Structure 1
Amino acid sequence: MSSKDAKVLRSRPMDDSEAKWVGLRAIEWVDQEGRERKWESADRKTRKGEVDAVAICALIHRPSSETHVLLISQFRPPVASSVIEMPAGLVDAGEEGDEGAQKAALRELEEETGYGTTKQGGSVDVVETSTIMVNDPGLSGANMKLCVVRIHLSDDSEEPVAKPEEGEFIEKHLVPVKGLYKTLKDFQDKGFAVDARLAHLAVGLELGLGGLTKGSKI
C-alpha cells in the first residue's frame, strides 16, 4: 500500500461558511503610488498564536554512514498527488516563541516518523530555529518556522515506529544529504510531486557544491 494509491474522487467550489480549516479574505490596500487595490487571500482558521506551523529539517547521523535527511511522502488532495516533503505540522495553543516551535517540531517528528525522541538511544538536538517565515505570500498569510534537528544514533539502533493520527498515511524516506537534488529528480520519475521549499533547499545545496548545469531541472 502506497500514498500514490490514493486519488481525488471529486472537487467543487466551496462556500466559506463550509470551511473548517481555511477561509477566504478580501484585502483592500494602497500601493506605493497611492492607488487603492484589492487582493484575495486564503488563510488558515486554526492559528493559535503567532505562527501556524513548523517544518522540520531532520538530519540523521550514524557512525558508519553519511548524513541523511529525513523526508516524508503523503497524498495531498489539493494537488491530487503524493508529495515528497519535509516533516511538518501545526503549532498547538500555548506553543509560543522558539521553545514552543521546538516542542511542536519534536512532537510532529515523532508522530509522523517515530524520530524526535531518545527512545532509540543517541541524542536529539534542535540546533537552529528560524524566525517566522511567510509561506506562499501571493496566495496566503500562512506562516511557519523551520527547526533544524540533528539526531545521532548508533548503527544498531532500531528503526523507530511512527504514531500517525487517524486518517494520516505517511511514508518516510531517509535520503543522503549529498545528492539530494538528484534524489528528488528520481522521486519525480517515480510519479511523486516535490514540495517547492524542499526543492529550493536541494538547489541551494547543489549550487553550494558547484553543481547545476544548463538544462538541469527538478
Structure 2
Amino acid sequence: MKSLEEKTIAKEQIFSGKVIDLYVEDVELPNGKASKREIVKHPGAVAVLAVTDEGKIIMVKQFRKPLERTIVEIPAGKLEKGEEPEYTALRELEEETGYTAKKLTKITAFYTSPGFADEIVHVFLAEELSVLEEKRELDEDEFVEVMEVTLEDALKLVESREVYDAKTAYAIQYLQLKEALQAQK
C-alpha cells in the first residue's frame, strides 16, 4: 500500500496566542509535489455531559464571539498545561455550573477539525452530582447561564439550533442511545 504521509520540509510559527498557535508548513505530498499547510495547534479540551440523579442534563448558555450568537452547550474548557483531562473536566464542571461529580466516565475523544487543527476534545459523562457549597469562580472573561434540561428538551435544542456545536450534539445523542439501549434490556 502506498504511503499517504506528507513530509514536513519547513515550519514557521506565525502566531502565538493564549489559546492557539498557528503554523505554516511547507510539505512534500505523497506524489512528490510541494504544498503548504496552515495548522492550528491547540492544547486540547474537555466536555462534560453532566446528568443529575433525576435525569436532567446540566447545560450552559453563553455567547460565542466567533459565531456572533448565544448557544447552549455542555460545560467544556481548555486543558491547562500539565492537567489530565479528568481533572480539567471536574474543574470546568465546577467552575461553569457549581456542580461536582462523584462519578466521571470517559465517553470518547475526537479531533474537532483534523484538516487544519490538532485540537482533541475528551468527552466525559458526569454522574452522582452534587451542588458545591462554594461555587468556583468563572474565568474573568466568561459569562454563562446554567440550565437543567430533560433529554427530550435537549433534543429540541439541537433541532432548533440553540445547540449548534458538535461536542454537545454528540453528547446528547450519546445519552439518547444509552437510554434507548437500557430500555431494551
TM-score band, normalised by shorter chain: 0.7 to 0.9
2:113 equivalent to 1:136: yes
More strand by share: 2
CA RMSD of superposed structures (Å): 3.1
C-alpha contact (below 8 Å) 2:106/2:122 kept by paired residues = no
2:101 equivalent to 1:127: no
**1-side partners of 2:137 and 2:18: how far apart?**
24
- Listed as ranges, the matches of 1:47-196 within 5 Å are 47=43, 52-62=44-54, 67-95=55-83, 100-116=84-100, 124-128=102-106, 130=108, 132-152=109-129, 161=135, 163-178=137-152, 180-186=154-160, 188=161, 192=162, 194-196=164-166
Q: Percent identity?
A: 27
**1-side partners of 2:38 and 2:113: how far apart?**
13
Gaps of 5+ in 2: 1-13, 181-185
SS in 2 for 1:116: strand
2:168 is aligned with what amino acid?
Answer: L
Q: CA deviation at 1:77?
A: 0.9
Aligned residues: 167
**2-side partners of 1:172 and 1:57: how far apart?**
13
String of CA shifts for 1:31-52, please: whole Å, max 9, x gaps: 44444332212233xx3xxxx2
**1-side partners of 2:153 and 2:116: how far apart?**
31
After superposition, the Cα gap between the structure-2 partners of 1:40 and 1:125, relative to the gap in structure 1 and judged at 3 Å, is: same
C-alpha contact (below 8 Å) 1:54/1:145 kept by paired residues = yes
Q: CA deviation at 1:30?
A: 4.0
SS in 2 for 1:61: coil
2:44 equivalent to 1:42: no
Gaps of 5+ in 1: 1-15, 118-123, 210-218
**1-side partners of 2:134 and 2:78: how far apart?**
22
